[in-house]
Amino acid sequence: MQLAKVIGRLVATRKYKGLEGIKFLIIQPIDKFQNPIGEPVVAADGTALAGPGDIVFFVGVREAALALPEKFVPVDHAITGIVDEIDVPEEGLPAKPGVFRKEPSLDPSS
Amino acid sequence: MRTLEEVALYIGKVSGTVVATFKDKVFEGRKLLIVDHLTPEGEPTGKYWVAVDDVQAGVGDTVMVIDEGNSARQVVGMDPAPIRAVVVGIVDEIDIAV
């Protein structure tokens, strides 16, 4: 699951049977500082409430279809929630010390 | 068929939280965390997840994350559910051969 910004709408009158009534939006995946990552994609709106300008989180691959009323439909990204707030305390907050250790006795060549 | 790369337990660092009011019912009452992917040496790779918290992890914790739907649905106990990323453990220590 990742964050994205809704940048547009998509209207398709004729579509696959299980997708009737589903709203499609164009979303731009973003990082936690809201900088764009990669290319925009079309996403089905599982919340039915998102609109252009919203920050959302979406789910990809097989699980995307599970966000929709019909569970077996050809959809690869689905919006699962509308974000009110992203709280990232400070960049570079160090991992708690002592987690990553070098252990010489584990070296297979020794 | 998925490769081993695609079905994995990853190491990550919790770097923030996400608040959402309108969301799928599987997320109701669950905390959402931003988890940065780390290499086994502790270096960030640039990849991240918005993950559901199952172990009361907090910002700064090194954690284990799954990014796969079937396991995630088993953890939250709801099927079907549009969920993939779940924090399933807090890491105390990682020992790597020098």
Which domains are present in chain B?
A: 9-90 (2.40.50.220)
Residue B67 CA: distances (Å) to CA of A65, A91, B75 = 16, 24, 12
pLDDT more than 70, % of chain A = 93
Give the mean model confidence (pLDDT) for residues B34-52: 90
ipTM for the predicted complex: 0.81
- What is the average pLDDT value for chain B, to the nearest integer? 87
Q: Is the dihedral of CA A15, A19, A25, A29 positive or negative?
A: negative
B29 near A CB under 8 A: no
Residues of chain A positioned with their CB less than 8 A from the CB of B15: 32, 88-89, 93
Least reliable range by pLDDT among A72-76, A93-97, B43-47: A93-97
Chain-chain contact of A57 with B22 (C-beta, under 8 angstroms): no
* Interface contact B69, partner A, CB < 8 A: yes
Looking at B1-98, which runs of residues are DSSP E strands?
Answer: 9-23, 32-38, 44-53, 62-67, 85-90, 94-96
B6 pLDDT higher than 80: no
Instruction: Assess B24–A contact: CB distance below 8 Å, yes or no.
Output: yes
In this complex, which of B18, B83, B96 lies closest to A59 when CB atoms are compared?
Answer: B83
Domain boundaries, chain A: 2-96
Q: Is B75 on the interface with A (CB under 8 A)?
A: no
Give the mean model confidence (pLDDT) for residues A23-37. Answer: 92
Please list, in sequence order, all residues whose beta carbon lies within 8 angstroms of the beta carbon of residue B95, skipping any fewer than 6 positions away: A101, A102, A103, A106
Residue of chain A whose Cα is closest to the Cα of B23: A81
Answer whether residue B40 shows pLDDT above 90: no
Cross-chain residue pair B19–A107, CB shorter than 8 Å: no
Give the mean pLDDT of chain A: 87
Task: Give contacts of A61 with chain B, Cβ < 8 Å.
Answer: 69, 84
Q: What is the mean pLDDT of residues B65-72?
A: 89
pTM, entire model? 0.82
Q: Which helix (H) or strand (E) holds B71?
A: helix B69-76
Q: Which fold has domain A2-96?
A: OB fold (Dihydrolipoamide Acetyltransferase, E2P) (2.40.50)
Question: Is B61:B16 a contact under the CB 8 Å cutoff?
Answer: no
Mean pLDDT of A26-42: 92
Residues with Cβ within 8 Å of residue A14, at least 6 apart in sequence: none
pLDDT in tens, A87-108: 888 755 555 667 788 777 777 7
pLDDT at B1: 54
Q: How confident is the model at residue B18 (pLDDT cuts 50, 70, 90)?
A: very high
SS3 B44: strand
Cα separation, A102 vs A105, in Å, equals: 9
